[in-house]
Amino acid sequence: MVISKTFELESSSHNPSKWKQTPGLITPINNCANVLITNNLIINGSILNPSDITLKENISDINNNEYDNIMKINPKKYKYKSSIPSIIGKDDGNFHYGFIAQDFEHFFPNLCVSMDKFIDIEEKCDMIEDEKINNDEKIKTINYIELIPLIIGKMQEMESEIKELKSKLNINK
């Protein structure tokens, strides 16, 4: 029998965060707390998102307009500002590749999420309950993982168009 136990991980020298360990999983005890990793995440396993059909409802195909929006977003190359706190982004001197959330949000608003600029897990939950957080204290983030089905769908659409064009070229020969 595996017994769930609670232990503490130091998130900073002045604010230890409590975590709950269940068989095979470690989760924050505080359900409204996110997990923040301020450096690289290196894993030997996989990143898994629950995707079982029993967890889903209102399932439908993605429409072509959503696929077409993939072609409207502009990838960017950038460096993080040296003035921002390392908890948000790391000024490592390297170029990074991605999108500008404010531009991206226009096409995929459900993939953009605002998060607190300065995170204090204990205060955060109190602030959410008291509705003290305003937009000036937030930054926008992008859920890049959920872009994958849109990219694959667009690729499938383009492959179908290529096959159709090849077929037409062969008829005309």
CA distance 152 to 57: 22
Q: Are the C-beta atoms of 42 and 21 separated by less than 8 Å? A: no
The pLDDT profile of the chain, 173 residues, written as one tens digit per residue, is: 333 344 444 444 444 455 555 666 667 777 677 777 777 778 888 888 889 999 999 999 999 889 999 999 999 999 888 777 655 666 677 899 999 999 999 999 999 988 876 555 445 445 444 444 455 678 899 999 999 999 999 999 999 999 999 999 887 66
The domain ranges of the chain are 1-31, 45-172
Indicate the CATH number for domain 45-172.
1.10.10
Exposed/middle/buried for 105, CB within 10 Å: 0-12, 13-18, 19+? middle
CA distance 142 to 160: 29
**What pTM was computed for the model?**
0.67
